[in-house]
Amino acid sequence: MARGLLGAPPILGGMGLAILELDGVSKKFGALTVAEQISFAVGEGEALGIIGPNGAGKSTLFNLITGNIPADSGSIRFLGSDVTRTPPMARCLSGMGRTFQIPQPFEKLTVFENLLVAGAFGSRRREAEVSDRCAEILVDTGLIDQANVLAGSLSLLQRKRLELARALATEPKLLLLDEIAGGLTEGECRSLVATIRAIHARGVAVIWIEHVLHALNSVVERLLVLHFGKVIGIGKPEDIMASRDVREIYLGIEI
């Protein structure tokens, strides 16, 4: 089945136009290949999940998409234009919002100011125009209590929420989430899922890397499986979860 899913790129799951297209993107760190001929596409308003063992190259793929790491070869198109050589900042401004797996807050700014930065710069508006929206996002992500607290004093998971909140404040058209549900309790997880669903419902496309599968599968429409830098499967979550490769390589269910 993996074969069938890896047909001619770009592969678009749902209908509509592609917001993001990757074509033959490759990347090596020295001798280590972390991305090999990766091709796929994400439709406007689609939610795509990415899974794969640790070190498969998921976060690296995000870095390639956002431009934090330049690709060795291949091309990346976003909203119809080629962004392969575009710096990360410009990609953000054109509508890509991301979270970092290892949170990168501005530690000496307050949580609210962290959002203001994202809001004012990421969506190119004046501070006064975005402050209300930033406050709303804080309410949505459960950080409103910490609004005036220095980001440096947040706990690990609060930092992860801040990552999400900041990405939202840039008013992205495509939201890239890197492991934001890890370590959440069930209830917290459920409210996180609800938040992401709400964002998705507003028409924002989402790519979400996650090891917490039940959370992931309750949001995404398609799943992509990465293994040693290669796409080994892409398709409906239930199909992917049933695939032999995934069960063996990722879930560790012996067959």
Shortest separation between residue 96's beta carbon and ligand ATP, angstroms: 18
Helix, coil or strand: residue 68: coil
- Residue 192 touching another protein (CB under 8 A): no
CA distance 84 to 70: 8
Shortest separation between residue 243's beta carbon and another protein, angstroms: 14
Helix, coil or strand: residue 128: helix
Shortest separation between residue 222's beta carbon and another protein, angstroms: 19
CA distance 168 to 186: 23
Element at 114 (helix H, strand E): helix 111-122
The footprint of another protein on residues 215-234 (CB under 8 A) is none
Amino acid code (one letter) for 197: R
Q: Which of 68, 75, 94, 101 binds ligand ATP (CB under 6 A)?
A: 101
- Residue 17 touching ligand ATP (CB under 6 A): no
Binding partner selected for residue 120 from Mg ion, another protein, ligand ATP, none, CB under the kind-specific 5 to 8 Å limit: another protein
Q: CA-CA-CA-CA torsion for 60, 65, 71, 73, nearest 10 degrees? A: 120
* In the complex, residue closest to Mg ion by CB: 59
Answer for the pair 209, 199: CB distance below 8 angstroms, yes or no. Answer: no
The footprint of ligand ATP on residues 172-211 (CB under 6 A) is 183
Angle at 99 between CA 153 and CA 86, to 5 degrees: 130
Residue closer to another protein by CB (options 52, 74) is: 52
Q: Which of 8, 15, 128, 255 binds another protein (CB under 8 A)?
A: 128
Answer for the pair 13, 40: CB distance below 8 angstroms, yes or no. Answer: no
The count of chain residues that interact with another protein, using the rule CB under 8 A, is: 76
List residues binding ligand ATP (CB under 6 A): 29, 32, 34, 52, 54-60, 101, 153-158, 183
